Amino acid sequence: MKPSLYNILFLIFTIITQSIFLTTITSAAQVIVKDATGKKVLDNVRYGLGPVKSGGHIKLTDTDNKKKICPFNVVQDPNDNIGGEFMFTMIGKEKYLKTSRVLGIDSGYPKSGCTKSTFWTINDAEAKAPDNLITTGGGFETDLTCFQVVEYPKPTNPKVHSYMIQHCPSFCGAGPQTCFNVSIYEHNGVKRLSSVGATPFEFVFYKLS
């Protein structure tokens, strides 16, 4: 039996309506990220990361337990209020960084003679330390280096734009079908970024001069 004109028109209407609905949800979930001063954060431009309150900024370190390492570890130094420089580069680049978009995080260049990349990497988000700790050395757009920035659900200071990072390996092709909140985890006396922890790390972006 041939479909009637009514059925055809109804099918077209349903497809268009669902498409508009899905587009609206996607657009609503993606918000332009803003720094500590309220300015829009640029995609693929270096920024500093720090807590809303005091407690030290995020940086790379080439030392672990007094030994030189390559690639590096991503740490929070309670005595460092300057921190490192990090670029958040979305897959499908745009002018401004947006929440809930797949991205890679790196410093853009090697340091201290290490030839490994500076892309943030988690070897196994479901494993125990040190495999669930963030190091560097990965490649862009791989399951091990797949992250996204989302708005912090309950900001410490509602007047400040604060965020959290999630590691989402399946978004880049493989791994568990879930996202892992990045938290501060103390390992061997050093505060490290990790896929496990009590509370997601709340931070703000700082534009570097």
pLDDT tens-digit map of 97-126:
999 999 999 998 766 688 899 999 999 999
**Residue 56 C-alpha from the chain's centroid:** 19
Residue 201 DSSP one-character state = P
Give the pLDDT band of residue 175 (cuts 50, 70, 90): confident
Q: Which residue in this structure is represented by tokens 């909140």?
A: 181
Mean pLDDT of 65-87: 92
Distance CA(184)–CA(202), nearest Å, equals 10
Q: Note the pLDDT of residue 3.
A: 52
Distance CA(29)–CA(48), nearest Å, equals 24
Q: Which two tokens stand for residue 103?
A: 């991205």
